[in-house]
Amino acid sequence: MKIITILGLISKNEEIGIPIYRYDDKLKGSFSLKRERYINMFSLLIDNFGAQDIVPIFTQLAKKIQIGVLKEEFQNEYNEIFNDRNFIDGEKDFYKILRIINDATSDDDKYIIDLTHGFRHIPILATISLISKSLSNTEKIKHIFFAKEIEPKKEYEIIDLKEYLELANMSYVLETFNHNYTVSLVSKFKNKNFCNLVSRLSTISNHILSNSLKALNKDVDKILSDIDFILKNEQIETFKGSLEDIQRHIRELQEIGKEKDSIKFYRMSRILNSKGYLLNAITLLFEAIGYYCAESFECFGDDIKAHINNFKNSRKFNAYDLTHESRTIVKKMGLRNGAYLTSIAVHDNIQKKLESIKTLGAFRDFIKDAEKLRNNLAHGNANERIEDSKQELSRLLDKYNSFCIQQNILGNKI
């Protein structure tokens, strides 16, 4: 395992003497020190981990000072560990510094990185590098050492900052989910509660983006329980706002799940449209129209309701046939060869009811417009610009609200 350390300019203070170092309670279970006093963190790392595993990143001045420290403490300059590829020759060239840090942490070795004595902005750049790398692989980063000052220049406690890196990663995961329902592919978290939450967010993301709304209902209670538990942790203050946003939205999804299918699919269509998933949104809207028609048919008479319920309870039932045929009957004012409308009498009764609705023509045009947009988006959006499709979808959502909710044109009372 490599120990990467960013060298600073700290040397022996003749007036104060050699400071005391110790690991905090979390680290002392995994590490121990050969002695408690070291001139600085660099000499501590060499003495306790071995010079062969130390990778210093250094400026010319830092190297000069630290060679003096090593010579005083160990009577050895350890020149062999100072590799030119880790030499920072321009302290203001941030991109070059980032490249040096990235190169030092880019191979397959696991490593500990020490940020204790880095020069000014260099530890900040190292932290940026660590955050970007940890999004894809936290397993390589075993620890991030930092010697916290307990008594100025006299006593230091070595702590592990990796848990804060996990907090940064968790914040990123939550923000991406809030923005577009995706879960970034970060590595596993040490914190089991974080692992559980990310796993469930990923499951919910898959359900939503595959339009599996019925499967979605099974997971919202579990994720709300996970969030409630994590919110009790004082350490999550950095992403508490994002977590509370997700909590509110999951509760909204929970309420949507209790709605009848025509409303459930419509409301989810609006949400997905707002996040830019046009194909998902129009697909759900088209299904909402089908469910609205089917639900309305059940209100046309007891014989029709009984016939539809028999179909729902039969082995050959599937929701697609129900919504497709119901929507097509309204659109074409007739469909003789369907999977569930096998009764001519039931079909005729539905058609008679539809013919009695004087304003049905505008609703049928609306169905045709929704189908046209769905087909267009499903086949590569060849005919219209994306911006035109967004506007059209928003217009269709408003029309659904007008026809199916406010006017309730077919008389759906379910």
pLDDT at 91 (0 to 100): 65
1-10, 69-78, 106-115: which is most confident = 69-78
5 versus 124: which is more confidently predicted?
5
Helices (H), 210-301: 213-216, 220-231, 240-257, 261-274, 278-297
pLDDT band at 185 (very low <50, low <70, confident <90, very high): low
| Interval 151-170 mean pLDDT | 86
Per-residue confidence band for 401, with pLDDT thresholds at 50, 70 and 90: very high
Q: So what's the pLDDT on residue 129? A: 60
Q: What's the Rg (C-alpha) of the chain?
A: 32
CA–CA dist 252, 124 (Å, integer): 39
List for the chain the helix, strand, coil content (%; round to 5). 60, 10, 30
pLDDT at res. 290: 96
**pLDDT grade for 286, boundaries at 50, 70 and 90:** very high
pLDDT beyond 60 at 135: no
Cut 0.85: pTM above it? no
- Residue 374, pLDDT score: 93
Return the pLDDT at 81: 92
Q: Compute CA 301 distance to the chain's CA centroid, rounded to the nearest angstrom.
A: 47
| pLDDT band with cut points at 50, 70 and 90 for residue 126 | low
Q: What is the mean pLDDT of residues 108-131?
A: 69
Which tokens is 319 given? 């929701």
Q: What is the pLDDT of residues 90-113, one digit of tens each?
A: 666 677 777 877 787 777 678 888
For residues 187 and 217, the model is more confident at: 217
Average pLDDT of the segment spanning 41-61:
92
Question: Residue 314 carries which side chain, given as an amino acid letter?
Answer: S
CA distances from 79 to 61, 70, 122 (A): 14, 10, 22
Asked whether residue 387 carries a pLDDT value surpassing 80, the answer given is no
Confidence grade of residue 153 (pLDDT, cut at 50, 70, 90): confident
> Among the ranges 48-52, 126-130, 382-386, which has the highest mean pLDDT value?
48-52
Distance between CA atoms of residues 219 and 200, nearest Å: 7
Q: Is the pLDDT of residue 362 over 90?
A: yes
Measured distance CA(50)–CA(11) in Å, rounded: 20
Among 211-220, 239-248, 256-265, which is the least confidently predicted range? 211-220
Residue 81: count of CB within 10 angstroms of its CB: 16
- Which residues does residue 23 pair with via DSSP β-bridges, in sequence order? 158
Token pair, residue 339, equals: 């999977």
What pLDDT digit, counting tens, does each position of 300-317 carry? Answer: 999 999 988 988 898 888
Q: What is the pLDDT of residue 335?
A: 62
Q: What residues pair up with 55 in beta bridges, in sequence order?
A: 4
Look at the chain and count its residues: 414
Mean pLDDT of 315-342: 81
What are the pLDDT digits (tens) for 76-95?
999 999 998 888 886 666 77
Higher pLDDT: 184 or 142? It is 142
